[in-house]
């Protein structure tokens, strides 16, 4: 089903490109070149494109996990973006304040600081959901915007601003930075380019560890069992002795910690300061597509992150090579979401007899579909 959804999106995307009078084949060729470094026509360096894709996919894995984990508990975390921003703000604030500390102390501090900030940002919706039944979709949306405006305040006129008239923060201390995987040298030539242009950083290992931790937590711990039990049926979980309230709150805290980590790693590994680029960051929304396309599994999330990382990296090349706006990537992403949610592929197969077996209806999704039901209106009972 996921591959079908991607195919569906690319076919409809090609139609949109074609209808507006451009050549979809050259658009997709440059998209693939930008994403995977293959079939390039304008002399792009394949290694550089792959490096760019990896840099993009790192935060997608971690935030994808932050969306997928609550899914398993029947919670829809639309707030990964706000949690990520909270993490990046905390990381930057700590990295500036203690900029003289050495790496072994400061790096853990900024990463843990980011996780704590993200956890708090997700904890509020968790507590509101568990106590008064406030719907987490709405509360996380609100907190996304609170985080965005807080970010603007901090770096425009606020305490982290680099200087008057700028819209970026001071840089974090050297001790707060994650190393790149290749040495950051201008004289060392790798793949025909100075090694410093390859920005892949050790955050990749952190992201992969996050995906592994997610899988371990979900399938190998008793809390993971509780998360899944609550996601299947709150009532049944309660009869089995699971505290639904506690599970909801802790699940959101952990999810927020993952998103916050993604934000902290982005600052520590790539940007080293907050900039206005973060105003229009969409990682936390891409994460929803990543989690759905990855069917909520760790391996699926990593694979979906590779796809979306490649799309982001490819979008820039598509724009410069074939003159098609990189925003086509957003269109493709939305089409993938529509297709997964509505199970278009299954529907088409149902309509064509003899074309595989009938697909189930309604679509098999992580248990997000039922979450607007009674659970939204009534808080979980006290056990």
Partner 1 sequence: MSGLGDILHLLVTANLWQATLAAAVLLLLPALGGVISERSGVVNIAMEGMMLTGAFFAVVADLAWHNVWLAVGVAVLAGALMALIHAVVSIQFRADQIVSGIAINIFAAGLTVFLVNRIYGLQDVGHVGQNEGIPYINVPGLDQIPFIGKVLFQQNVVVYIALVLLVLVHVVLFRTRLGLRIRAVGEHPQAADTAGINVYLIRYSAVISSGLLSGLAGAFLAIGVSNTFVPNMTDGRGYIALAAMIFGKWTPFGAFVACLIFGLGQAIYDNNSIIHISPYLLSMLPYLLTLIVLAGLVGRSTPPAADGLPYVPGSE
CB 185 within 8 Å of CB 195: yes
SS3 265: helix
CA nearest neighbour of 24 among 10, 38, 43, 5? 10
Long-range contacts of 315-320 (CB under 8 A, 24+ apart): 315/31, 315/34, 316/34, 316/52, 317/30, 317/31, 317/33, 317/34, 317/35, 317/44, 317/49, 318/27, 318/30, 318/31, 318/34, 320/42
Distance CA 213, CA 16 (A): 40
Exactly one of 325, 348, 356, 381 binds partner 1 (CB under 8 A); which one? 325
Minimum Å distance from CB 178 to partner 1? 29
Residue 228 binding partner 1, by CB under 8 A: no
Tell me the β-bridge partners of 180: 201
Exactly one of 112, 215, 337, 359 binds partner 1 (CB under 8 A); which one? 337
Which among 101-109, 200-208, 241-249, 330-338 is the span making contact with partner 1, rule CB under 8 A?
Answer: 330-338
CB closer to partner 1 out of 226 and 286: 286
Minimum Å distance from CB 231 to partner 1? 14
CB 133 within 8 Å of CB 376: yes
Size of the site for partner 1 (CB under 8 A): 64
Exactly one of 56, 214, 278, 344 binds partner 1 (CB under 8 A); which one? 344
SS3 185: coil
For residue 193, which phi and psi values (nearest 5 degrees)? Answer: -135, 155
For the chain, give the number of residues: 383
Residue 25 binding partner 1, by CB under 8 A: no
CB 301 within 8 Å of CB 211: yes
Exactly one of 271, 330, 350, 359 binds partner 1 (CB under 8 A); which one? 330
CB closer to partner 1 out of 258 and 285: 285
Task: Find the binding residues for partner 1 in span 137-196 (CB under 8 A).
Answer: 137-139, 141-143, 145-146, 149-150, 152-153, 156-158
CB closer to partner 1 out of 153 and 216: 153
Task: Find the binding residues for partner 1 in span 281-320 (CB under 8 A).
Answer: 282, 285, 288, 292
Exactly one of 96, 310, 340, 345 binds partner 1 (CB under 8 A); which one? 340
CB 346 within 8 Å of CB 361: yes
H-helix or E-strand containing 190?
strand 189-190
* Residues in contact with partner 1 by the rule CB under 8 A: 16, 20-22, 76, 78, 124, 128, 132, 134-135, 137-139, 141-143, 145-146, 149-150, 152-153, 156-158, 280, 282, 285, 288, 292, 323-325, 327-335, 337-338, 340-344, 347, 361-363, 365, 368-374, 376-377
């Amino acid at each position: 089903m996921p591959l079908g959804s991607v195919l569906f999106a690319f076919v409809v995307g090609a139609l949109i490109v074609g209808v507006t009078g451009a050549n979809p084949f050259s658009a997709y060729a440059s998209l693939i070149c930008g994403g995977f470094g293959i079939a390039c026509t304008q002399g792009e360096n394949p290694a550089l494109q792959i490096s760019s894709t990896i840099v993009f996919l790192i935060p997608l894995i971690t935030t994808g996990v932050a969306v997928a984990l609550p899914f398993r508990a029947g919670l829809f975390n639309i707030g990964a973006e706000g949690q990520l921003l909270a993490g990046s703000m905390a990381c930057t604030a700590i990295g500036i304040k203690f900029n003289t500390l050495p790496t072994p102390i400061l790096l853990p501090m900024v990463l843990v600081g980011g996780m704590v900030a993200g956890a708090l940002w997700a904890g509020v919706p968790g507590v509101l959901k568990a106590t008064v039944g406030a719907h987490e979709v709405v509360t996380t949306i609100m907190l996304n915007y609170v985080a965005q405006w807080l970010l603007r305040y901090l770096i425009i006129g606020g305490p982290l601003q680099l200087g008057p008239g700028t819209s970026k923060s001071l840089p974090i201390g050297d001790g707060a930075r994650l190393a790149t995987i290749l040495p950051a040298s201008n004289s060392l030539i790798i793949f025909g380019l100075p090694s410093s242009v390859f920005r892949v950083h050790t955050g990749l290992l952190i992201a992969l560890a996050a995906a592994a931790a997610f899988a371990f937590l979900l399938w190998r711990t008793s809390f993971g069992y509780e998360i899944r039990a609550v996601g299947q049926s709150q009532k049944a979980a309660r009869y089995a002795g699971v505290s639904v309230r506690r599970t909801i709150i802790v699940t959101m805290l952990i999810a927020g910690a993952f998103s916050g980590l993604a934000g902290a790693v982005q600052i520590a590994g790539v940007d080293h300061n907050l900039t206005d680029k973060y105003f229009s960051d969409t990682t936390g929304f891409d994460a929803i597509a990543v989690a759905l396309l990855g069917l909520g599994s760790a391996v699926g999330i990593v694979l979906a992150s590779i796809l979306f990382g490649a799309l982001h990296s490819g979008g820039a090349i598509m724009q410069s090579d074939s003159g098609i706006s990189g925003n086509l990537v957003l269109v493709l992403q939305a089409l993938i979401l529509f297709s997964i949610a509505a199970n278009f592929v299954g529907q088409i197969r149902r309509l064509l007899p003899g074309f595989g077996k009938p697909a189930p209806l309604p679509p098999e999704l992580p248990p997000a579909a039922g979450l607007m039901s009674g659970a939204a209106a009534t808080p979980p009972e006290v056990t």
